[in-house]
Amino acid sequence: MADKLILLLEDQPLISLDVEEALVDKGLSNFVTLRSQREALEWLDASSPDFVLLDLYLNDGDSQPVLARLQQESIPFMIYTGSEKPPEWNAELFEGSEWMSKPSDPDALADRIRTRLAIT
């Protein structure tokens, strides 16, 4: 499982550091952290992660384009956000996703990611 590639899409540096540390502690050290939808979409052009953890709102706007891309490419993901699900967004963007609210225990989050990676 340590070789599974995780994309962490989080614009808040302190939150991403906590999540990164928890992932490493759980043996998940193969990850890339990005802070914007532009970076994520460019990275996804060249890479295919095994799992994505993302916030709904990023430095350069919302994550709808990234969610659409993940759905299109059948890449499993979990939403990790302090926001409510926007009612105006297309519900299909969230199909098959898991939701975890911020703030939460980074270790519990890493455990849920390990579980999801074991399923995929």
pLDDT tens digits along 91-100: 788 788 888 8
**Looking at residue 103, what is its pLDDT?**
82
- Calpha distance 96→24 (Å, rounded): 25
44, 51 Cβ separation under 8 angstroms = no
Q: Is the pTM of this model over 0.75?
A: yes
State yes or no: pLDDT of 51 exceeds 90: yes
pLDDT tens for residues 17-40? 999 999 999 889 999 999 999 999
**Looking at residue 120, what is its pLDDT?**
57
Indicate the domain borders of the chain: 6-119
Q: How confident is the model at residue 54 (pLDDT cuts 50, 70, 90)?
A: very high
Q: How many CB atoms lie within 10 A of CB 3?
A: 8
Mean pLDDT of the chain: 90
Fold adopted by 6-119 = Rossmann fold (3.40.50)
Strands (E), the chain: 6-9, 31-34, 51-54, 57-58, 61-62, 77-81, 98-101
User: How many C-alpha atoms does 85 have within 13 Å on its Cβ side?
Assistant: 15
